[in-house]
Amino acid sequence: MADKRMTAEEVVSRLRSGMTIGIGGWAVRRKPMELVRAIARSSLTDLTLVTYGGPEVGLLCRLGKVRRLKFGFVSLDAIPLDPHFRAVRQAGAVEVEEYDEGMLQWGLYAAALRLPFLPTRAGLGSDVLTHNPHLRTVADPYGSGDELVAMPALHLDAAIVHLNRADAAGNGQCLGPDPYFDDLYCRAADQAFVSCERIVPTEELAQGQPSSSLVVRRLDVTGVVEAPAGAGFTSCVPDYDLDRGAVRAYADSAVDEDSFSRWSSDYLGGGHE
């Protein structure tokens, strides 16, 4: 099996401005923040993000890296709406496509299956269709009379996810209670990069763990980054919990530019381009 180990900087070198990038995890759970920091420090810009969003959205939007966002929410949990994202959205600084959570999943699934769209009931009777006028509905061709939303595939140029363990070939393991949709991100992308708490021998992935914990296949993975605490300050259970103090510090840095400059200089380790 090929050895796909990379550094975070090598991952970023494979990305280009203008790309559509899917970011795994869920709100403040298992976000690939080591890779997000590397993107934040880079010269990349004009990005489209696809995500169930957390602080990665607010940070990259605040830094001017993002042109468009396709999302189900942007939340810090106890702080329902990321204040950095709130500010850039209210200023009209990013374009948005906001979807029902199930619709976003279905868009990733369609891309993973290499289909142009998948039908769904999610979004029917809601303002999702009002605020996304590009969406279309389709009639059930088998005669039920049902009208369904045709959720377009959310094809990704690249995906970044964070897992508890991986081997050097790219098989990724989730030891927490929920894999979220990290497998779909990887399958929907032309390139997929997995950061993990620890790279282990392949045989160790199977020791004492159910086969369902192996959520990402090496065939879908371009590169693997060993990044201890690489989801911090979001959680990566059972390795570590959410750092609530760090979440508050991040949120408080939205007060003014000086506060954000001080916080980001510390968090990003020396500023950004």
* Whole-Å CA distances, 157 to 16, 74, 186: 9, 21, 10
What is the domain partition of the chain in residue ranges?
8-118+155-268
φ/ψ (deg, to 5) at 16: -135, 150
Residues forming beta bridges with residue 5, ordered by sequence position: 224
Report which of 209, 213, 207, 205 is spatially closest to residue 169, judged by C-alpha positions: 205
How much is the pLDDT for 271?
A: 45
Strands (E), 75-213: 95-98, 117-120, 136-139, 147-152, 156-166, 172-173, 189-199
Q: Look up residue 220 and give its DSSP letter.
A: G
How do the pLDDT tens digits run along the chain, 273 residues long?
A: 799 999 999 999 999 999 999 999 999 999 999 999 999 999 999 999 999 999 999 999 999 999 999 999 999 999 999 999 999 999 999 999 999 999 999 999 999 999 999 999 999 999 999 999 999 999 999 989 899 999 999 999 999 999 999 999 999 999 999 999 999 999 999 999 999 999 999 999 988 888 889 999 999 999 999 999 999 999 999 999 999 999 999 999 999 999 999 999 999 985 444
Q: How many CB atoms lie within 10 A of CB 138?
A: 12
What's the predicted TM-score (pTM) here? 0.95
Domain 8-118+155-268 class in CATH: alpha beta
* Residue 84: per-residue pLDDT: 97
If we measure between CA atoms, which residue out of 89, 21, 91 comes closest to residue 58? 89
What pLDDT shows up at residue 270? 53
